[in-house]
Amino acid sequence: MLENPDYSSTAPAVPPLTRSVVCLNPERPRKLYRAGKGRYRDQKNATIPAQNLKAATDVEHSELLARIQVGGGLSGAIFGAGLVACLALRAFRRKTVVQDINGPPAESWLYGARPSKNHISLSTPPGNMLQLMFPPSFGSYDFLWQERYGLLYRFKGCFGENRLMVSDSTALQHILHNPTLFMHGPIIDNAAHLLEGSKSIVTIHDPIQHKRVRSVLNIGFTAGVIRGYEPLIRELAMDLVEKWQQIPAQRGSINVSPDLSVITLGIIARVALGRTLKDLGEELVQNNFESVELATAQTPTHLLIDAVAAHLPVPFLRATLYLPGQAMATVRKGRMLADQLGWDVISEKMEAVKRGLDVSGDFFGQLVGGRDSVSKTASLDEIVGQTAVLLIAGQDTTASAMAFSLVHLAKDQNLQESLRQEIYSQSDDIKYDNMLLLNAVVKETLRMYPAEAMTERIALQDTVLPLGASITTISGQSLNAIPIEKGQILIVNSGGYQRQSPRWGPDPHVFRPARWLDGSVPAMKDGIGVYSNLLTFLSGNHTCLGWRLAILEMQVILATLVSKFSFSLPEGEEEQVIPHFQSTVIPVLPNGKKGALLCISPIS
């Protein structure tokens, strides 16, 4: 992992601007105006050479949040016709450095491509959003644009908004490791508020509070604690083996995705709450499936709604929870059921503790049992507040990754057989971490198909973004850092980062687990991420809490299934799997249905 770059000795080159920029000094940012080549002046007319500009890392977060709220309040006041006018005006403002950054053409302000009779439709999202958010398959446009425009490029969001797509590792490191400078963007933040509530670890804005709650939650996700769940995962994997062994031989292919989702939900229910799927109740399980589906059921119209909603004041946004309609009913019910479940589990655990029973077998038990010592820094409210996020975050992400692994194993029979031989060569006491090919398959799957291939961040203040690889702007300037303004939306592009050559070898778009074993992946000085330099689980303060659990699940379940079944692809185009991106990367069939069809035969 990279350390935060030190700008005190080598100041990033700041490009000439035609408008005000911000002086970034660690104590206090202030507005600067250009005063000739390489020189700036502040409001008091003092001249400052460009090399004295420094990156800010230490601004009062509460102050920044207050500024964002004020921004929300202002945009609320101009909501309605005024909002659209304001969005239009913004598109025609004077040129900023961000506007000078190369990127794909989006020639129509509203529709993103040159309007033609066939193209104009109210359901066509403007800018490049349709291409990025609804590609024919995962990365169709993004990977191409990364090749063409580099590791940081500009694209058009709705209503002419300039957004930055970032897969430059130095810039990503800076964005993800400076929570006082960047936070979740408004769309992801609001979606998390609606689905998971304001106590969820994802929606806590204040970095200090977030750090405190995270440190408590980490207690249940250390390497040692997670290793202890291995027998449980094996047991649940064997339940799935039994189920699949009942499938009649003449059945042909089955969709493996729903069963994999059931097993991952079952694991998180046991690990986090000490409950079986049956204990959760049919209503909650069904609702959880529907909530997860909602996250991947975006339509082009949602993009337009999101684009307008991002400019509404926060209370308006939160009030969307009470809108009529099936989707919001599912969200409300999910929140209510998760809260109820969380409180039930906590009160049971507290009762058990009073009776002197050991409750340390699951996450909530560990937190409640250890309240007097380790976890007294989190309130019960804060613990219960994690129920929804754990049930949602822990389900489909891991299930989809395993579905992709199985599809690739079915495609490559030699790889599948080699993996089976590796599994058979283990003693009863399997050491999953030592199985080279198994781990290569896990890593290659997570590299190719990161569930959250793009995640949104917003700049909380004017700042400077350092780049590892310099870019050449439209006007021909070479930049190794770019000034960005408060409110700038940036997309953390894990998908693109994980398809860069030579970072991952010369063939980054090919599923080839051997790259992890034959030296094709060179040592990385600038790699980021908590697992094998991959960004799949992100990096920084919002790093996936369950990453160790997800990897153990993949290791144990894949090894168990491959040891008991042989997988092959069904015949016929219509049954092939396409990696699809719609908020998350999921496997879908050509008919658009989520899933992966595979032929499964038990090994006798």
Which residues in this chain contact ligand HEM in the complex, by CB under 6 A? 201-202, 214, 268, 389-390, 393-394, 397-398, 401, 450-452, 455, 536-538, 542, 544-546, 549-550
* Residue 383 CA: distances (Å) to CA of 32, 200, 351, 375, 386: 45, 9, 16, 10, 6
Kindly write down the DSSP assignment for every residue of 104-117, as one continuous string.
----STTTSS---T
Contact 560, 234 (CB under 8 A): yes
CB of 181 to ligand HEM, least distance (A): 15
Provide φ and ψ at 526, rounded to 5°.
Answer: -110, 20
Residue with token string 């020639």: 107
- In angstroms, the Cα distances linking 95 to 23, 78, 449, 478, 532 are 19, 24, 36, 17, 40
**Strand, coil or helix: what is 31?**
strand
Instruction: Give me the phi and psi of 339, to 5 degrees please.
Output: -60, -45
Strands 489-493 and 454-459 turn out to be antiparallel
Q: Which residues, at least 6 apart from 531, have a Cβ–Cβ distance to it below 8 Å?
A: 443, 446, 537, 547, 551
Edge-first strand listing for the sheet containing 253-255 = 253-255, 597-602, 565-568
For the CB of residue 366, give the shortest distance to ligand HEM in the complex, in Å. Answer: 13
Closest CB 417 distance from ligand HEM, rounded Å: 25
Q: Between residues 224 and 324, which has the closer beta carbon with respect to ligand HEM?
A: 224
Residues 399 and 447: beta-carbon distance below 8 Å = no
Residue nearest to ligand HEM (CB): 546
Burial class (CB in 10 A: 0-12, 13-18, 19+), 219: middle
Q: Within the chain, how many helices (H) and strands (E) appear?
A: 23, 16
For ligand HEM, the closer CB: 307 or 403:
403
CB of 449 to ligand HEM, least distance (A): 9
For residues 458 and 489, is the Cβ–Cβ distance under 8 A?
Answer: yes
Q: How many angstroms separate the CA atoms of 97 and 212, rounded?
A: 37
Min. distance of Cβ 210 from ligand HEM in angstroms? 7
CB of 31 to ligand HEM, least distance (A): 30
Of the two residues 40 and 537, which places its CB atom closer to ligand HEM in the complex? 537
Distance of closest approach, residue 61 Cβ to ligand HEM, in angstroms: 16
Looking at the Cβ atoms of 268 and 317, the one nearer to ligand HEM is 268
317 vs 481 by CB, closer to ligand HEM: 317
Residue (276 or 472) nearer to ligand HEM, CB: 276
Task: Assess contact for 463 and 59: CB atoms under 8 A.
Answer: no
Could you tell me the smallest distance in angstroms from the CB atom of residue 452 to ligand HEM? 4
Q: Which is nearer to ligand HEM, 415 or 538 (CB)?
A: 538
Rounded CA separation 123/397 (Å): 29
Q: Is the CB of 113 or the CB of 538 nearer to ligand HEM?
A: 538
Q: Please state the closest distance from residue 594 (CB atom) to ligand HEM, in A.
A: 16
The Cα-based distances of 546 to 219, 284, 542 in angstroms read 12, 21, 11
Phi, psi of 116, rounded to the nearest 5 degrees: -140, 165
What's the closest the beta carbon of residue 87 comes to ligand HEM, in angstroms?
Answer: 25
Nearer to ligand HEM, 21 or 267 (CB): 267
Nearer to ligand HEM, 102 or 541 (CB): 541
How near is the Cβ of 493 to ligand HEM at its closest, in Å? 12
- Give me the sheet containing 182-184, strands edge to edge: 152-156, 162-166, 489-493, 454-459, 182-184
Nearer to ligand HEM, 23 or 442 (CB): 442
